[in-house]
């Protein structure tokens, strides 16, 4: 028997559908009542979140909150009683209509930054600044772009896989003609959230692009004694300040006043399927977040240690990307400004393992150790880029 799938269109201009606030359960998709599946959408009100929408999707013991009005970013995820995400000083789910990315030297993006997973890209990502005659704002435009063609797909057979899809356009006449097809996959019995994105360059012409998956985690995974494990070939400091913290780059301190942020650049190391891994294990080693990613399009990893006070956003970013977090002008020489041909599609794969017990954490560490094997992870003491 062929697999069949129930489909729920949540938003589609083409089909004239906008479900707005709704909820559905397993039975609405023809599933057995004991399959843990629930989806709902709410429209937010008040402040700069007026008109923002939030989709809460529960599959198995995971509830993930997705923001369709912010490029299908992930606000947070909860598995059992463990929340994955962070506490930003920005509390609102800010509607892009209130964001001016050009503000304050290209830093307007920071007005809405509070998600667990923020896509940066795709015409450019990284720090604001001039490159080749164009002023690039922080981390590009995709996250401040609402999605269309939002669809939930529910497989009718075990393991009852559930996919949430949405399309985000990044288009500027003569400059950019990108469409991003996003897909989040959850499975009732699985601790994983899979992100499978396809970036298509609809132009006749080649273009350059950049993408960073800015994944951010605070307490309870982050805490004093939390530790990073990655599969890597090389780690280097982002700048002089990070160089001073190189010895403990993988260790997490308690919230520390005046810490600000240290950033480390990692050349990823993949397994036989080109998958690279990073794990942040909690102080107790009983919880962890594993970020696995496919290296063919995401060859490097940025570790953003923002170990400042809770009020400043005590958080670590585990960010696979085409590129590091530098302004694009620094990345041409690093060969980290890839080309997407006319009509070409690029695929991105990022998988979040929401690990909530010591066994899962242990298995992840074993896997990372196995992939690393005898390959040394060289520690470079000088910053990758000499910033002025």
User: Where does residue 362 fall: left (phi above 0), alpha (psi -120 to 50 degrees), or beta otherwise?
Assistant: alpha
Report the alpha-carbon distance of residue 128 to residue 138 in Å, rounded: 4
Which positions from 234 to 263 touch a copy of itself by CB under 8 A, shown as an x/- string? -----------------------x------
Q: How many residues bind a copy of itself (CB under 8 A)?
A: 64
Does residue number 223 form part of the binding site for a copy of itself (CB under 8 A)? no
Report the alpha-carbon distance of residue 18 to residue 226 in Å, rounded: 43
- Scanning 173-181, 206-214, 263-271, 361-369 for contacts with a copy of itself by CB under 8 A, the matching segment is 173-181
* Shortest spacing between CB 21 and a copy of itself, in angstroms: 11
Which positions from 76 to 115 touch a copy of itself by CB under 8 A, shown as an x/- string? ------------xxxxx---xxx-xxxxxx-xx-xx-xx-
* Shortest spacing between CB 116 and a copy of itself, in angstroms: 15
Q: Are 88 and 113 in contact (CB under 8 A)?
A: yes
Nearest 5 degrees, angle CA 72-CA 196-CA 200? 85
| Stretch 42-71 residues interacting with a copy of itself (CB under 8 A) | 44-51, 69
- Scanning 171-179, 182-190, 223-231, 273-281 for contacts with a copy of itself by CB under 8 A, the matching segment is 171-179
- Scanning 156-164, 239-247, 305-313, 367-375 for contacts with a copy of itself by CB under 8 A, the matching segment is 305-313
Question: Closer CB to a copy of itself, residue 71 or residue 288?
Answer: 71
Identify the CA nearest to 119 among candidates 327, 320, 294, 306: 320
* Shortest spacing between CB 90 and a copy of itself, in angstroms: 5
Question: Closer CB to a copy of itself, residue 96 or residue 320?
Answer: 96
Contact residue for a copy of itself among 25, 254, 274, 308 (CB under 8 A) = 308
Question: Closer CB to a copy of itself, residue 30 or residue 97?
Answer: 97
Report the alpha-carbon distance of residue 269 to residue 295 in Å, rounded: 8
The residue written with tokens 């399959």 in the block is 35
Question: Closer CB to a copy of itself, residue 27 or residue 343?
Answer: 343
* Shortest spacing between CB 191 and a copy of itself, in angstroms: 29
The count of other CB atoms within 10 Å of the CB of residue 383 is: 18
Contact residue for a copy of itself among 1, 2, 34, 173 (CB under 8 A) = 173
| Stretch 4-43 residues interacting with a copy of itself (CB under 8 A) | 11-13, 17-18
- Scanning 139-147, 233-241, 352-360, 377-385 for contacts with a copy of itself by CB under 8 A, the matching segment is 139-147
* Shortest spacing between CB 147 and a copy of itself, in angstroms: 7
The residue written with tokens 């996919």 in the block is 163
Which positions from 193 to 212 touch a copy of itself by CB under 8 A, shown as an x/- string? ---------xxxx-------
- Scanning 237-245, 246-254, 277-285, 309-317 for contacts with a copy of itself by CB under 8 A, the matching segment is 309-317
Question: Closer CB to a copy of itself, residue 268 or residue 306?
Answer: 306
Residues in contact with a copy of itself by CB under 8 A are 11-13, 17-18, 44-51, 69, 88-92, 96-98, 100-105, 107-108, 110-111, 113-114, 133-135, 137, 145-150, 167-169, 171-175, 177, 202-205, 257, 308-309, 311-313, 342
């Amino acid at each position: 028997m062929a697999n069949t799938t129930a489909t729920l269109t949540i938003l589609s201009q083409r089909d004239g559908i906008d479900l707005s606030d709704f909820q559905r359960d397993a039975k609405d998709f023809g599933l057995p009542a004991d399959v843990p599946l629930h989806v709902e959408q709410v429209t937010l009100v008040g402040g700069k979140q007026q008109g923002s929408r939030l989709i809460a999707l529960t599959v198995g013991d995971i509830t993930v909150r997705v923001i369709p009005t912010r490029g299908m970013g992930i606000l947070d995820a909860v598995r059992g009683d463990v929340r994955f995400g962070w506490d930003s000083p920005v509390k609102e789910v800010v509607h892009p209509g209130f964001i001016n990315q050009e503000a304050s030297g290209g830093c307007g993006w920071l007005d809405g930054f509070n998600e667990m997973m923020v896509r940066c890209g795709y015409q450019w990502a990284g720090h604001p600044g001039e490159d080749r005659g164009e002023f690039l704002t922080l981390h590009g435009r995709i996250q401040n772009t609402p999605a269309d063609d939002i669809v939930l797909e529910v497989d009718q057979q075990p393991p009852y896989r559930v996919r949430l899809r949405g399309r985000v356009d990044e288009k500027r006449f003569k400059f950019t003609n990108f469409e991003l097809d996003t897909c989040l996959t959850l499975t009732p019995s699985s601790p994983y959230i899979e992100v499978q994105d396809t970036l298509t360059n609809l132009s006749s012409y080649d273009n350059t692009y950049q993408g960073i998956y800015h994944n951010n985690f605070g307490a309870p995974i982050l805490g004093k004694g939390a530790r990073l494990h990655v599969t890597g070939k090389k780690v280097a400091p982002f700048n002089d300040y990070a160089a001073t913290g190189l010895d403990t780059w993988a260790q997490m301190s308690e919230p520390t006043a005046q810490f600000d942020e240290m950033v480390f650049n990692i050349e990823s190391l993949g397994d036989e399927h080109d998958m690279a891994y990073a794990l942040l294990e909690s102080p107790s080693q009983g919880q962890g977040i594993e970020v696995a990613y496919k290296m063919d399009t995401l060859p490097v990893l940025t570790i953003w240690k923002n170990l400042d006070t809770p009020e400043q956003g005590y958080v670590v970013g585990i960010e696979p990307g085409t590129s590091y977090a530098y302004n694009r002008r620094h990345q041409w020489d690093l060969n980290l400004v890839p080309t997407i041909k006319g009509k070409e599609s690029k695929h991105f794969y990022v998988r979040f393992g929401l690990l909530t017990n010591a066994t899962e954490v242990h298995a992840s560490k074993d896997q990372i150790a196995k992939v690393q094997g005898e390959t040394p992870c060289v520690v470079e003491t000088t910053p990758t880029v000499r910033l002025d």
